[in-house]
Amino acid sequence: MKEQIVKLLMQIPVPGESESIVKFVELVDVHEDDITIKLKVPQKYDKFERAIISSVQDAIKRGIPAAKHVDVLVNIVKANDMAGEGGISKVKKVIAVASGKGGVGKSTVSANLAIALAKQGYKVGLLDADIFGPSIPKMFGVEDAQPYSRKEGEKEWILPVEQYGIKLLSIGFFVRPEDALAWRGPMAGNVLKQFVQDSDWGELDVMVIDMPPGTSDIQLTLCQIINITGAIMVGTPQDVAVIDVVKAIDFFQKEKIEVPILGLVENMAWFTPEELPDNKYYIFGKGGVEELAKLRGLPFLGAVPIVMGLREGGDAGKPAAMNENSIIGKQFAEIAKKVME
């Protein structure tokens, strides 16, 4: 009977494609007149889950009238769970650094967190997912770098650029800094899919994703193609920025996204002269993000002050966390430990 079931499944097309649904079959089990079929379906087809179940049940009942019960179990899996030897198949943890608005320092936090993690002995990758405003190449001093590729059979893999022991990929490696990308969301999403699925990241303990601002196409695409371990929310103390952090938290907690919030970081928490670290000037208000963390019952990972060296390090291509004895170095070392815990 199993052969008959497989033949019936071969007549059911994958939604929107010419291929058969058979390629998703994990198990066909027949016990007396009961049939169980298990399917492993990529995330991009999740909206067709009910239609797939109905199609399979109808086809089996028509083709095998004696079947009393047809149970169809669908396991929706994300891209890195389906991957082969390339892509991010060997990446253990994926951390998204996000917020609901631009200009709060997501890239600064992403870059310095990646450095801090690498200094603690982890193998780290950093994906710059901000297609329309890439800044990671500048922050790591590799604006002129061009990623190599390697061919494996018919497959060509993009090889991330390496700097300070961290693997990096950004659209900034493929376009001139002065070029504005007049792309719609799906085009940007396709580029990110390539960076994830067609790039050989190798073995990594952690991949940090510098997310773009907002909660739209690109964020949805990344959550669909990557099994994100958790997200870090970045905000600044003033009320208008905290409101946008709330929106970002809500996005990651929505049904079918459901990414755990690892904690909140308050950036630009205060200004301090590096030579007078005890002097704190609360330019944008005080503790807005920390208060939000308490209200939501989420971990507060730390406050990052405005320090001249933080800006200078980003502009010079040497993230400030590289100096472990600096104010920023010590702060990001603590944040990195809390994130990994």
Burial of 220 from C-beta contacts in 10 A (0-12 / 13-18 / 19+): middle
* 91-98 and 69-77 strand pairing: unpaired
pTM above 0.85, yes or no: no
Name 46's bridge partners. Answer: none
Which of 261, 166, 263, 171 shows the shortest CA–CA distance to 208?
166
Do residue 155 and residue 30 come from a single domain?
no
Do residue 125 and residue 268 come from a single domain?
yes
pLDDT of residue 224: 81
Name 306's bridge partners. Answer: 271
The H or E element spanning position 191 is helix 185-197
| DSSP codes joined into one string, 248-266 | HHHHHTSTTT---EEEEEE
Domain that holds residue 264: 82-340
Do residue 58 and residue 110 come from a single domain?
no
Do residue 53 and residue 35 come from a single domain?
yes
Cα–Cα distances in angstroms (integers) from residue 167 to residues 78, 111, 162, 170, in the given order:
22, 11, 4, 10
CATH at residue 103:
3.40.50.300
Residue that terminates a domain, selected from 42, 57, 77 = 77
Do residue 171 and residue 198 come from a single domain?
yes
Name 119's bridge partners. Answer: none
Residue with tokens 């199609």: 55
Residue that terminates a domain, selected from 47, 77, 107 = 77
The total of other beta-carbon atoms located within 10 Å of residue 209's CB is: 26
Contact indicator for 89, 226 with CB cutoff of 8 Å: no
The total of other beta-carbon atoms located within 10 Å of residue 260's CB is: 12
pLDDT of residue 83: 47
Do residue 7 and residue 36 come from a single domain?
yes
pLDDT of residue 19: 79
Residue that terminates a domain, selected from 58, 77, 96 = 77
Do residue 68 and residue 104 come from a single domain?
no
The one-letter amino acid at 66: A
Task: Give the largest Cα separation in the chain, rounded.
Answer: 83
Q: Is 307 helix (H, G, I), strand (E, B) or coil?
A: coil
pLDDT of residue 14: 84
**Interatomic CA distance for residues 223 and 46, integer angstroms:** 13
Give me the phi and psi of 189, to 5 degrees please.
-60, -40
Sequential pLDDT tens for the chain (341 residues): 788 888 888 888 888 777 788 888 888 888 877 899 998 888 778 778 888 898 899 888 888 888 888 888 888 776 555 445 568 888 999 999 998 777 888 999 999 999 999 999 999 999 998 888 888 999 999 988 888 888 777 778 889 999 999 999 999 888 776 676 667 767 777 888 888 888 999 999 999 999 988 777 778 888 888 889 999 999 988 877 788 888 889 999 888 788 999 999 999 888 887 777 778 888 888 888 889 999 999 999 999 988 887 777 777 788 888 888 888 899 999 999 999 99
Instruction: Look up residue 134 and give its two tokens.
Output: 């890439």
**Interatomic CA distance for residues 235 and 301, integer angstroms:** 12
Instruction: Look up residue 219 and give its two tokens.
Output: 């964020």
pLDDT of residue 20: 84
Do residue 38 and residue 177 come from a single domain?
no
CATH at residue 39:
3.30.300.130
Contact indicator for 279, 273 with CB cutoff of 8 Å: yes
Do residue 48 and residue 195 come from a single domain?
no
Do residue 330 and residue 266 come from a single domain?
yes
Do residue 324 and residue 262 come from a single domain?
yes
Alpha helices in 74-163 (DSSP H): 79-82, 106-119, 136-139
Do residue 22 and residue 127 come from a single domain?
no
- Number of helices (H) and strands (E), helices first, in the chain? 11, 13
Q: State the total domains in the chain.
A: 2
Instruction: Look up residue 335 and give its two tokens.
Output: 């944040």
